[in-house]
Structure 1
Amino acid sequence: MSTWGNLTRVFDRACAYYPDRTAVVEGDRRITYREMRDWTNRIAHGLAALGVAHGERVGMLLPNSLELVPTLFGIWRRGATLVQMPARSGIDDWRYFLRESHASTLIYHAQFDYAISKIRADLPELKHLVRLGSPEGDSAVEAADYDDVFSNQPTDDFSAMITPDDIAYVAFTSGTTGVPKGIIQSHRSWSHYVITAGLEIGDTRPGEVFAHVAPLTHFTQIFLVPTFMRGGTNVVLPGFDIEKFLTTIQQEKVTATAVVPTILYTLLDYPRLGDFDLSSLRTVVYAGSPMAPERLQQALEVFGPIFVQTYAGSEPGFTTCLRKEEHRVDSDEWIKRLSSAGRPMFHVDVSIQDEHDNILPPGEIGEICARQEGQMVSYLDPEKNAEAMRGGWVHSGDIGYVDEDGYVYIVDRKKDMIVTGGMNVFPRQIEDILQEHPAVAQCAVIGVPHEQWGEAVTAFVVRRDGATVTADELVAMVKERKGGAWAPKTVNFVDQLPLNASGKVDKKKLREPYWVGRTRQVS
C-alpha cells in the first residue's frame, strides 16, 4: 500500500530509515526514532485496551512537551481521530471542543486538572480520562495515570486499517471572527498539508533541526512530519522565553523555526540579541498574522534573507508563500512586495471574489478564495459548509487583491473592517503606517461604537522601551497618509496586546469592553 494519504505510514518510514538518530529533544530529554516508534505503539495498544475504537475521537490537552509528539502519532496509529485542544485556550473553549467533537477520551496534563474538574460533569460522552503527571494536592478528577495506561503496553506494531479518507483530526478555528468552528481534516488532506509545509514553505533539508517555540497545538505542528521525513530533529520548547529560545538555537544548532510576528518583534527589540550565535538558522517561517513591512525590513537587516512568509487558514489550508528569494529590498518594487502574502503555491488556485461570488480582475479588492487538496474536508457541522464552501471555492473571510504579477495582498479580515461615516476602513493598512514610526513596537486597530460615525477608529500602541511618541503624532501620521477618516480618533498606549491561543493579537478581547450590551458585536 502506498504511504500517500496515511500519516502513520509516512511516520513509520521515517522511523525505519533513521532509527538511531535523535527524533525529539526537550531540554535534557532526548529520544531516538526507534524509541519514538516504540512509544507510539504503546499509546496505540493502550488506547485499544481502554476500549477506544477505530474512528473514535480523542482529545489531547498537553502543553509543548516531549510526550506530546509520540502521543499524537499514537492516537493516529490506533486509527482514532485527534481532537486538537490548544493549551492556551480556556475552560469554556475546552468544554466546547470536547462536546462539539463528541470525544470519548481525553489525554491531558495534570496542570489542567482544575479546569477538567470544572467541565467533567458537562461531558457525559467522555468515557476515558488519562492524566499525564501528578496534580498539586488532591484531585477531584477520576483519571487514569498516563504511565499506568501506556508504559507497560507492547511495542510491536499496532496495525490499524487506515484509509486516506479516514478523519485524522478535528480542529477548531481561532474564533477571531466569532464562535470557533470545528473543521475536519482527513489523512489525505492533512498529508497534503504537511508535505506542502516541508517542501514548499519550510524548504526542509536532510538533518533539519526545527525548534518549536510556538504552541504545537497550532501551526508549528505541521512541521513535525516534514522534519521527520528528512531524518531531522524536532526541538520542543515549553513556550516563548527569549533567553531560553536564543540559548536553544545556539546550543542545538537550530536550523529552522516557525513563529508569529509578535515573537520576531520581541527578538528585534531585545538588547542582548547580538550575544548569541544564531548562525545555524537558515529558515524562519512567519505566519498567523501579517508582519509590518518596516519591521520586516529591519529583520532582514539583522538576520539576513532567511525568512519565509506563509498565508494559510484552518479552512483553505496553505494558500500563498513569499519565499526567501522574494524577501528583497533592492528596489521599490520588491520593498512593496514585502507587504504582500506572496504568490499562490503551485497546487493552489486563488481568486478574488465580490459579494456575489464573481471573480474580480487584478487590482480590485474582494474576498480571498482558494481551492486545493489540502483544504478542510468539511466543517464539523456540515450545515455550516455553505458559509465558506461555495462554487468549489473556500471563502477565507479575508479581504485583499491580486496584482498583475500574481502577488496577493491582504487588506484585512472581512469582519475586522471598520465602517466609519459610510466609509470602509481596513485596520491592517492603518497598523502598517503606525508601525513605521520608530517608537512603535506593536499596535492594533479596531472600530468602537460612535453615535455620529457609526464606528470610530481606535488604536492600541505598545511603545519600544525608552521611546516616546504622542497620540497626536501618530494621528497626524495616519491622516497625512490616508486622510481624516482613517486617522485614529483615540490612541491608547498599553504595555502589551492580548494574544489568543494561536498567538495572534486578540482583537475580539480589545473590542469587548466597547460593545457590551449591544446587539452588534464586531468580532
Structure 2
Amino acid sequence: MSNFEAAIQRDFGLIADLIAIHAQQGPERPALADATQTLSYGALDALMDRIAASLQRDGLAPGDAIAICAASSVDYAAVFLGALRAGVAVAPLAPGSTQASLARMIEDAGARILFVDQAAAEVIGPAAPDAIPRLALDGSAAGGDFEAWLAPAGVRPAAVELQRSSPFNIIYSSGTTGEPKGIVQGHGMRWAHVQRGARYEYRPETVTLLSTPLYSNTTLVVFFPTLAFGGCVLLMPKFDAAAYLKLAESRRVTHTMLVPVQYQRLMARPDFGAHDLTSFQYKFSTSAPFNAALKADVLQRWPGGLIEFYGMTEGGGTCILEAHLHPDKLHTVGQPAEGSDIRLIDEEGREVARGEAGEVVGHSAGMMVGYHRQPAKTREAEWFDPSGKRFIRTGDVGRFDDDGFLTLFDRKKDMIISGGFNIYPSDLETVVRAHPSVADVAVVGVPSEQWGETPVAFVVRRAGDDTAAETILQWTNEQLGKTQRLARLQFIDELPRSAIGKVLKRELRELVAR
C-alpha cells in the first residue's frame, strides 16, 4: 500500500498532508493552473510551506483566521492551502458584496491578514479595519507585495496539531444588512468530502475545470478532492460559455462543477455540439434547482456521468442524484449519500410518517461546527432526535418516494438562488424599506432564464407618494451587491397576508407569473 493509499483511508487526516505526499511522488505533475501560470505539486508544496511559515512568523496560530477577497487564481488557491498547513482558518469573501458587508465579515472573522486583488480592494475601500495588513495577490498597489512577504524558499513551517473540529474555513452567507452569518466548517467536514471523492474517480490524471469562485462552497466540494487525489485544477476567474467549451476541449477536462444556469447557457450555444467533450468522466452540479428537462439534455448531449449534490454549506446530510444511472428520477435530488442520515420533520419537530412531506434535516460526518460567534443562530439551525443525535435543518420541504429518492417542493425560508448564489429576501427587504417612499415591501424569487431565479420586490408606497418605481429600484440596487440586485420593483396596494399577518409570498409569485 502506497503512502497516499494509507493516508486517504484514515478515519481523519489533513488535505495539506496529502498534497505533500503528491509532491514527493510526482513533483512535476501539474496541480493548479490559471490563464497566467501553472504550478506543479512540488512547487505548490514548497509555496504552501513558505505561506504557512510566513503566517507563523507574523504570529498566527491554529484557530486564527485570514480573509481572501479576490478573483480565483493560482496564488489565491496557494494562500488558501498554505493557511491550512499552518492550521489557520480561511474566510473567502465575495468581491461582489457591498463595502459595508465586507467590513462586517472581515471583522467578524477576526481576520489577521487580508489578501486582495485590485478589483476587490476598490470595493472594500477603507472598509476593513486599518490595523489589518493587506497583501496584493495580483502584484498591484492594492496591498503589500505578496512575494516580498513570503518567507525564504526552502523554509519549513512548524508542525501543528489539528482536530476534526478545528476551523478549516468560514464561509459567509450573502447579506447586506444586519450581522453576517459565518459558517464554520471543520477539517473533519472537508475530510469527509475528500473521502467521498474516491467514488467519482479522482486520480492523478484528473483535470478539473472550475469557473465558479473559490469563495463558494459549490466550488470547494470539487476543488479539494481533485487536489487530494493528485489531479490538476484549472481555474477560470469568470465564467464565459465560449471560453469554457474551448478550454474544456483543449485541456481534455475530465471533471467539472457547474451551477444549473451555467449548464443552461452552455447547452443553449449553437456550437455546443462542435466541441469534443469525450474526455469528461463526471460533471457535478449543486446550489440551485436543476430542471429535469435540462438534466435530460445534458445527459443526451454531453458525455460522462452527471451528479447532482443536494445539501447546505452548513453541512448535515447530503443527497446525491447519479442522473446517468437514474434517468427516471431527474425530478428528484437523489438518495441520501453513504453516511448521511436524512429525515423529514413537521412544524413541531416530530418526524413525519413515510410518504408525507416535511422539512429536510440531515446528519453526517460533514457538518459545520456552527455559525461563527452566533451560538443562538447555531441552535436555531439544529434539530436533535430523541437519542440526542444532532442534525442540521435545511429549511427545505420535501418528500421521499417509495425508492428513497427525495423530491423538493418549496424552500421554507424563501431563499432565492440566483446564478448559484444564495440571496436572502429579508436582507433586500431591509434595504428597500429604508427608502423614504416605502411603507411596506416583500421580495420573492421568480424564474429567470438567465439566472435560474431573480429577486422581484413588491412595494406599498406611503400615502400620497408618487415616486416612480424605477427611482426606488435604482436607489435600492446602488445599496446592494452585484449578485443581489433586484430585477424588478412592482407597486402593490397591499401585501397579501395570512390571518396571523404572514406575507403570502406564493401569491406574489403568482402575480409575477400572470
Structure 1 residues 365 and 178 mapped into 2: Cα distance closer, same or farther (>3 Å)? farther
Which residue of structure 1 aligns with residue 298 of structure 2?
A: 299
Q: Percent identity?
A: 23
What does the per-residue CA deviation read over 1:10-39, in whole Å, with 9 as the maximum and x for residues that have no partner? 332232232221111212521110000001
Of residues 103, 110, 127, the one that matches 2:132 is 127
**1:323 shift after superposition:** 1.1
Q: How does 1:499-510 map to 2 (within 5 A)?
A: 509-510=486-487
Q: Is the 8 A contact 2:340 2:362 kept in 1?
A: yes
Deviations 1:137-166 (A, max 9, x none): xx6x7x421111016354435422333332
Count how many residue pairs are aligned between Structure 1 and Structure 2.
Answer: 441
Distance 1:210 1:74, change over 3 A: same
Shift of 1:402: 1.0
Whole-Å Cα distance in 2 between the matches of residues 291 and 78 of structure 1? 38
Aligned to 2:171: 171
**SS where residue 104 of structure 2 aligns?**
helix
Is the alpha carbon distance of 1:162 and 1:211 closer, same or farther for their aligned partners in structure 2, counting shifts above 3 Å? same
Residue 42 of structure 2 aligns with which residue? 34
* 2:208 aligned with 1:216: no
* Residue 402 of structure 2 corresponds to residue 404 of structure 1: yes
Q: What displacement does 1:42 show?
A: 0.9
Q: How far, CA to CA, are the matches of 1:10 and 1:514 in structure 2? A: 56
Q: In structure 1, how many angstroms separate the alpha carbons of the residues matched to 2:319 and 2:177? A: 21
Gaps of 5+ in 1: 329-333, 418-426, 432-443, 449-453, 465-497
Q: In the aligned structure 2, how far is the partner of 1:455 from the partner of 1:81? A: 36
1-side partners of 2:371 and 2:450: how far apart? 40
1:81 corresponds to 2:73: no
Residue of structure 1 equivalent to 2:366: 374
**CA, structure 1 residues 158+267, in 2 after alignment: closer, same or farther (shift >3 Å)?**
same
Q: How does 1:263-274 map to 2 (within 5 A)?
A: 263-274=262-273
Unpaired runs of at least 5, structure 2: 1-5, 385-389, 430-440, 452-476, 496-500, 507-514
- The answer to whether the 8 Å contact 2:323/2:330 transfers is no
C-alpha displacement of 1:90: 3.3
SS at match of 1:183: strand
Is the Cα contact below 8 Å between 1:11 and 1:225 reproduced in 2?
Answer: no
1:195 to 1:163, Cα distance in 2 relative to 1, 3 A: same
* Distance in 2 separating the partners of 1:84 and 1:226: 18
* Letter matched to residue 41 of structure 2: Y
- Mapped to 2, the partners of 1:512 and 1:78 lie a distance apart of 48
Measure, in 1, the Cα distance between the counterparts of 2:291 and 2:176: 20
Aligned to 2:284: 285
Mark the CA change 1:176 to 1:144 in structure 2 (over 3 Å): closer, same or farther. Answer: closer
CA deviation string 1:405-459 (max 9, x = no partner): 1101111210229xxxxxxxxx99xx9xxxxxxxxxxxx9x999xxxxx999985
- How do 1:8-87 and structure 2 match up within 5 A? 8-87=16-95
Question: 1-side partners of 2:494 and 2:149: how far apart?
Answer: 48
CA separation in 1, counterparts of 2:299 and 2:481?
24
Q: Secondary structure at the match of 2:125?
A: helix
CA distance in 2, matches of 1:343, 1:236: 30
Q: Does residue 89 of structure 2 align to residue 96 of structure 1?
A: no
Q: After the TM superposition, which residues 51-450 of structure 1 pair with which residues of structure 2 at under 5 Å, given as runs? A: 51-120=59-128, 123=129, 126-135=131-140, 143-150=143-150, 152-174=152-174, 180-196=180-196, 198-200=197-199, 202-218=200-216, 219-304=218-303, 306-317=305-316, 319-328=318-327, 334=328, 337-380=329-372, 381-391=374-384, 392-416=390-414
CA pair 516-134 structure 1, distance change in 2 beyond 3 A: farther
RMSD over aligned Cα atoms = 3.7
* Cα distance change on mapping 1:134 and 1:410 into 2, 3 Å: same
Deviation at 1:517, TM superposition (A): 12
Contact 1:307 1:327 in 2 (8 A): no
In 2: Cα distance, 1:516 partner to 1:187 partner: 51
CA contact (8 A) 1:64 1:237 kept: yes
2:159 alignment partner, SS class: coil
SS of equivalent residue, structure 2 residue 230: coil
Please report the TM-score for the alignment, with normalisation by the length of structure 2. Answer: 0.77
Q: TM-score with structure 1 length normalisation?
A: 0.75
Distance 1:160 1:286, change over 3 A: same
Q: Is the 8 A contact 1:61 1:107 kept in 2?
A: yes
Q: Give the distance between the partners of 2:349 and 2:189, measured in 1 at CA.
A: 25
The one-letter code of the counterpart of 1:338 is L
Is contact 2:92-2:214 (8 Å) kept? Answer: no
Displacement after TM superposition at 1:178 (Å): 8.8
Once residues 203 and 33 of structure 2 are traced to their aligned partners in structure 1, the CA distance between those partners, rounded to angstroms, is 18
Per the TM alignment, residue 209 of structure 1 is displaced from its structure 2 partner at its CA by 0.6
